[in-house]
Every structure is written in structure tokens, then in C-alpha cells.
Amino acid sequence: MPSSKHIPAIRSTTILAAMAFTLTLATQAQTNSLPDAPTPSTAGLASLSPQPDLTFFTADPLQQSTSQPPAQNPAPPSLSDLGLTPDQTKADPDAQARLDRRTHMLKIHQKLGLLTTIPIAAACISSAGATPDRNSYGNTTSRDVHVGIAGLAIGMYGATAYYAIRAPRIPDSGPARGGIKIHKYLIWIHAPGMILTPILGTMAFNDIAGGHKPGGIEQYHSAVALTTAIAYAGSIVAVSWPIHMPFTGSK
Amino acid sequence: MNRCTLTLLASAFAFTQLAAAQADHTWLLDNSALTYHMSHPIHEVDATSHATKGIGKCHEGACDFLLATPVKTFDSGDSNRDLHMIQTVRGAQFPMVTVRFHIPESATNSPTFDCDLEINFAGQTAHYHVPFHQEITGNAHHITGTIPANIIDFKIPAPSFLTVPIKNEIPVKVDTTWHQQ
């Protein structure tokens, strides 16, 4: 126990030591640099003032972790720390079901669309034998084959279109971008073409069956059909664009 | 009197220690570009999201980081492909991709550092060890790296085109800029 005349001196020393350490800690807390936190030595402080137990104030991380309760460790960051609301992060099973249904229908649309190219191509090829220039007006076999194949193409085209039209729309998905945009623009060419072509074909067929060469608007049947077929093929290429060419590395 | 002074000092020290503990560093993500690459024999696709949010909390020499990206913000330039991607990865059911990692605070000043990433995506969690590069300009820390992600790690069924599935590898390029708050 120190004598009473030593008390002011000890008190002053203690206060000075404490202030120095407080400043050290405050500086350490405010620094913006990122190196590992220095470990202040308490040896000097202890020699200045042996009375208070300064080991309590040590900044040694290991010792601090044992002296502080675990509750003081900050929790790892959460989504709420990022400013995300529960609405932004919650699951939406209805939207997922809508997406699943959309994808399912568009996959059928894709498969049917690719398969439809076969009868369309076959109809184009068979049209060569359906003109009256090469056949007698009375021989309708080639024209019947052409009509049959073209009818199949139109039926499959209709089924293909059905799956695209009936696929659910996804709200807030924004405007179409990329190849799908061209794919949709081309609908305005091949869809009317697919309606007009059989009408003109029927008119031409009736003209030929009547023993005369098609005249009037029906004479454009083959031109409309060819335009439709090109637009249809373009539509397939557009939705697949850009195409990466294997073995060459180019797009 | 002496005991009273010491008590006051002890309280001041305790407060300082508490303040120091609570004033630990926080890192905030300024801007980012996350780009995944998808390969198919006739398609090569890159899709980027700039909507990532990120935060890092440093305490006692260690930092916990969290990044979150809405799945629907990845843009490949083709809205149809992006919607198909969202459906495939069940992006409406699991709308966020989250990345967590824990690094020593000293790594935040290092030109290169390795991270063990915990990625939660499509309802699955996968871990990747990724080296990152860092360029420090003032208070801006520009960090880049590539996560060697695989779709099989997240149990995502591989989409196919003309019956050929895409490649399993979907590397994700990470380009982020952070600042210390």
C-alpha cells in the first residue's frame, strides 16, 4: 500500500498511461490502412503503473477473443445488408411454373418448326412437276403429290405456330432483343405467305384443271410460296444466330 | 478517490475497446461485371450482369464478404435465350446467386489472393478455390478473376440444341471494384 504522499504521483502516472493507450486504440480504430492490427505492448504501461491490471486492456487478438463474449463478433453479412428486400429474394413458384410451361411449349415449337422444313422443302421440289408446262393438263398426279405435301407443310406450320402463340408470356421481360426479334419480324412475311400460298395454289389448280394456264393473281402462287419458304428458313437461322462454326472458331 | 478515477478510466478503456471493435472496416462494391460463358458446338454465348451488390465486413483481421446477383439480370443480348436460362436454372424459384468468402484482412491489400468461394445458385451450394488479382488505385480496389463453375455442380440439366447439350463448363469472369467505407 503506497503512502498518502505518493498517491497523487501514482494517480497522475496512471491517468497519463491510460490516456496514451486510449489515443493508441482510437488511432488504431480510425486508421484506413489495411495491414494487420499491431499488437501494443503492455510491458511499458505495466512498468509505469504496476497497480492496475492492464492486461485487461490488451489489444492482442487472441487474448481479446478469449476475454470478449462471442456476441460481440459481428454477424457475417446478410442479404438485408445489401439493401435487398424479401420481395426481391423470395421464391416465386408461379413464375417458375410459367417459365417451365413456356419452355416446354417453345421446345415443341422448335422441334415442329425444324421438322416442318422437310415438307416445305419437299413441296418446293415437287412444285417443279406440278406446272402445266411440263405435264398435260389432264395428268394431275404430280400436282396431287405437290398438293398433298404442301397440305402437310401447312398443317405442320399451323401446329408450330400454335405452340408459339399459346406459350405463356413472361411479364416484365422487356422487349425482344437479339435473334428472336428478327424471328418475330419474319412472322409478318411467312405467316401471311402460308395463308396466301394455298389459296393461290387452289386457284391455280382449278385453272389448270379447267384446261388453261393460271392467270390473274394465282400466277404468283410460286413466287409467294418461294418468298414464304425463304422467310421461314430465315426465321430459323435468325433465332439460332449467332452461329459458331465448328472447327473454324469463327462466328 | 483513486479507486474512483481508476473506475472511470477502466470504463473509458472499455468504451474505447468497444468502439474499436464496432468501427471495423466495411467494404462496399462500387461496380461489377459478372460474365458467364456458355459453349455449344454451334453457339458461344457470353452473358453479363452489372447488378451485383456486395459487402465485406472485417473484424479482428478477418473479413467476410457477400455478393448477390439477381439471376434475371444476366444479359446475353438475346431475350429469348436469357428467359430460357432463367427457366433452366430455376431463376424464379431461386432468384439470387450468392457468393460468400472469408479472407484475412491483409489480403485486401495484396496484388493477388486466393479465395474459397461458397456459391449458392439454383438451390445448390458449390465451393470453388479461385485466385484473384487486385489493382489498387486510391481507395478503389479493382479485383478480377474467373470462377471455374460447372453446371453439374449445381445440378442444372444441360440445355441442348439439335440434341447436342452445352458444355459442362460455364466459367464466370468476375470484374469488381470495391472501396472501403
- Average pLDDT of chain A to the nearest whole number: 76
Which residue is closest to A178 within chain B, CA to CA?
B78
Task: Name the residue among B134, B147, B2, B135 with its Cα closest to residue B67.
Answer: B147
Select the residue from B28, B39, B60, B181 to test the A interface by mutation, using most A Cβ atoms within 10 A.
B60
pLDDT of residue B12: 54
Q: Give pTM, 2 decimals.
A: 0.74
Instruction: Give the range among A59-63, B107-111, B142-146 with minimum mean pLDDT.
Output: A59-63
pLDDT of residue A131: 81
Q: Which residues contact B138 (CB under 8 A, 6 or more apart)?
A: none
Whether B70 has its CB under 8 Å from any CB of chain A: the answer is yes
pLDDT of residue B8: 56
Query: Is omega for the bond preceding A246 within 30 degrees of 0, making it cis?
Result: no
B41 contacts in A (CB within 8 Å)? 244, 246
Residue A208's pLDDT band (boundaries 50, 70, 90)? confident
Average pLDDT estimate for A163-173: 93
Q: Which residue has the higher pLDDT, B2 or A10?
A: B2
pLDDT of residue A75: 82
Q: Which residues contact A14 (CB under 8 A, 6 or more apart)?
A: A49, A51, A52, B5, B6, B9
**Contact between A29 and B98 using a beta-carbon 8 Å cutoff:** no
Gap between the terminal Cα atoms of chain B = 42
- Dihedral, CA atoms, A129, A131, A136, A138, nearest 10 degrees? 100
Report residue A43 as a C-alpha cell. 510491458
Q: Which residues contact B154 (CB under 8 A, 6 or more apart)?
A: B89, B121, B122, B123, B124, B126
Dihedral sign from CA coordinates of B96, B102, B107, B111:
negative
Residues A70-129: tens digit of each pLDDT: 445 678 899 999 999 888 899 999 999 999 999 999 999 999 999 999 999 999 999 988
The answer regarding whether domain B23-180 maps to CATH 2.40.128.110 reads yes
Residue A14's pLDDT band (boundaries 50, 70, 90)? low
* B98 contacts B126 by C-beta, under 8 angstroms: no
pLDDT of residue B91: 96
Whether B180 has its CB under 8 Å from any CB of chain A: the answer is yes
pLDDT at A222 over 80: yes
Q: Which residue has the higher pLDDT, A104 or A132?
A: A104
Q: Which residues contact A179 (CB under 8 A, 6 or more apart)?
A: A238, A239, A240, A241, A242, B78, B80
Which residue is closest to A65 within chain B, CA to CA?
B60
What is the distance between the alpha carbons of residues B22 and B17, in angstroms, rounded to a whole number? Answer: 9
pLDDT of residue B40: 93
Instruction: Give the range among A120-129, A158-167, A242-251, B79-88 with minimum mean pLDDT.
Output: A242-251
A91 contacts in B (CB within 8 Å)? 92-95
Residues A22-68: tens digit of each pLDDT: 444 444 444 433 333 333 333 333 333 333 333 333 333 333 333 44
Q: Which residue has the higher pLDDT, A121 or A2?
A: A121
Which residue is closest to B123 within chain A, CA to CA?
A91
- Strand-pairing partners, residue B127, are B118
Task: Name the residue among A91, A238, A102 with its Cα closest to residue B83.
Answer: A102
pLDDT at B68 over 60: yes
Report residue B147 as a C-alpha cell. 470462377
* B121 contacts B97 by C-beta, under 8 angstroms: yes
What is the distance between the alpha carbons of residues B176 and B29, in angstroms, rounded to a whole number? Answer: 7
pLDDT of residue A125: 94
